[in-house]
Structures are given as C-alpha cells and as structure tokens.
Amino acid sequence: MNTKIKELRKEHKLSQEELALAVGTTRQTITSIEVGKYTASLVLAYRIAHYFGLTIEEVFDFSDVEEL
Amino acid sequence: MEQFKKLLRTRIAVNLFGGLFILACVIIGAVTVWPAATNFSSFHLGFQVGLTTVVEFFLIWGSIKYLRVLGKEAELKKLYYEENDERTRAINEKTGGNVLNACSLIILTAGILAGYFNAVVFFTLVACCVFLSVTHKILYIYYSKKL
C-alpha cells in the first residue's frame, strides 16, 4: 500500500526515528510502511494520520484496494 | 507506563532468582552428582557448564538492561514500543516464535536429563534443539525482509 508518510515526514523535518517515537512504534516499522512492504494496523494508521493532522485516507492510498 | 515499570521489576526479580537457582543447581550437581558420574561423557557435563554460563550471562545482561532503563523515561518508552511493536509481533506470529522457543527449551531440558542415561539420546535431542533454533532464525530473517 502506498502512503504519503515520507513526504509528510520531510515536510515536517522529521526523521523516521522521531516519527516512530511520536506514534509509538519502531523505526523499522515506519521504514516498512513507507516502502509499502508492511500495511499498518488501523490503530497505527490512525495515530500516524492524527499526528500529521490529517485523515487516514489522506495519508494512505487506498486506490489499490479492490472494490467488492 | 507504570504497568510496564512493574513488569520490568518483576522480570528483574525473576532473572535474578532464576539465575541464582540455576547456579545453585549446577554447583550442587558439580559437587554431588558429577563426581559419581563415571558413565557419561565429559561433553555432556561440559555442555551443561557451557549452557549454564550462557544462560547466566543472558539473565544478568537482561537484568542490567532493565535496571538501566527503569530510571530513564525516554528509554523506557522506547523499550516499551520495541516490545509492543505490531510489525515485530506479526513477524513473531508468522515464525511461530513463542511455540518454537518453548519447544526448543523443552527439547533441550529433555536432552540434558536424558544425557544422564544415554549419550545418543542427548546428542540427538540437542541436535533437534539446534535445528529448531536455526530454522526459527532463518524464518525470522526471511519475514523481517518480507514485511
């Protein structure tokens, strides 16, 4: 899943470590989410979006998700 | 965070008590059982000494790590996040982490006890334990790269 986390992080001049500590996870998890290898849980997605003052849909790209 | 501090204090107590208990068992064994143990291999006895040393090292290292972190709020938070990280939990679940660890421990204990009766069984069970541990590590590395 694509995300805008990297761009948002650079806008706010945050390192991965700083963002990880702010949202209660590890740097490795943030890295994996940014490269699209790992899909964050609802709670973590909410925390990341909330940290940047955005909605989950504005941070995470759901266009790849199949319509049922 | 208070709950986590309490958990760390409990772990420190368990580590220290466990370490003392294991050391006491080995010392009692070395003094009473091993001198009379003429029919098992020196490898078996040496293996127990080596294993005890490693276990003691990790128990002491763990205790020091937790003691160091208890006084520092920032490091405590970092440790809490590392231990409760969802990706790490997902990797552990995929690799059967807790089950494999428990099986390895049980097999190792059985191997050590069996070694007092039959050396072949001892070596077989230790080899099983090593194989399980290596398999777990390989799977952990694979899923760490994948996720």
* Residue in B closest to A37 by C-alpha: B147
Tell me the residue type at B7: L
Q: Tokens for B69, please give them.
A: 């972190």
pLDDT along chain A (68 residues), means of 10: 92 94 94 93 95 94 80
Residue at A66 is within a domain? no
- Contact present, A20 and A30 (Cβ < 8 Å): yes
Provide mean pLDDT across the span B108-112.
87
Tokens encoding B137: 């590590």
Q: What's the distance, Cα to Cα, between the start and end of chain A in Å?
A: 18
Which CATH number fits the domain that encloses residue A42?
1.10.260.40
All residues at 6 or more sequence positions from B23 whose CB lies less than 8 Å from its CB, including other chains: B52, B56
Q: Which domain holds residue A36?
A: 2-59
Banded pLDDT at B109 (limits 50, 70, 90) = confident
What average pLDDT score do residues B43-71 get? Answer: 87
- The verdict on a CB contact (< 8 Å) between B81 and A28 is no
pLDDT (mean) for B96-123:
87
Q: What is the ipTM of this complex?
A: 0.84
pLDDT band at B37 (very low <50, low <70, confident <90, very high): low
What's the whole-number mean pLDDT along residues B106-121? 86
* Domain residue limits, chain B: 1-84, 86-147
- pLDDT given at position A64: 77
pLDDT of B60 above 80? yes
Residue B95: CB atoms within 10 Å: 21
| Residue A48, in any domain of the structure | yes
3-state SS string for A24-64 = CCCHHHHHHHHCCCCCCCHHHHHHHHHHCCCCHHHHECCCC
Backbone angles phi and psi of B118, in degrees to 5: -150, 125
Write out pLDDT tens, residues B64-77.
Answer: 999 999 988 999 99
* Portion 28-57 of A in contact with B at CB < 8 A: 28-29, 32, 37-38, 40-41, 43-44
pTM: 0.78
- List CB contacts (< 8 A) between B4 and chain A: none
- Report the pLDDT value the prediction gives residue B40, as an integer from 0 to 100: 62
Task: Give the per-residue pLDDT at B134.
Answer: 92
Instruction: Give tens-digit pLDDT for B79-93.
Output: 999 999 999 999 999
Residue B38, pLDDT above cutoff 80: no
- Report chain A residues whose CB lies below 8 A from the CB of B82: 26
User: Residue A3 corresponds to which amino acid?
Assistant: T
CB within 8 Å: B87 and A21: no
CB-neighbour burial class of residue B53 (10 A; exposed 0-12, middle 13-18, buried 19+):
exposed
**Other Cβ atoms within 10 Å of B50 Cβ, number:** 11
CA distance B47 to B110: 14
Count of A-B CB contacts under 8 Å = 32
The number of folded domains in chain A is: 1
Q: How far apart are the first and last CA of chain B?
A: 28
Domain membership flag for residue A31: yes
CB–CB contact A26 B146 (8 Å): no
pLDDT at A13: 95
Q: Which two tokens stand for residue A42?
A: 């609802």
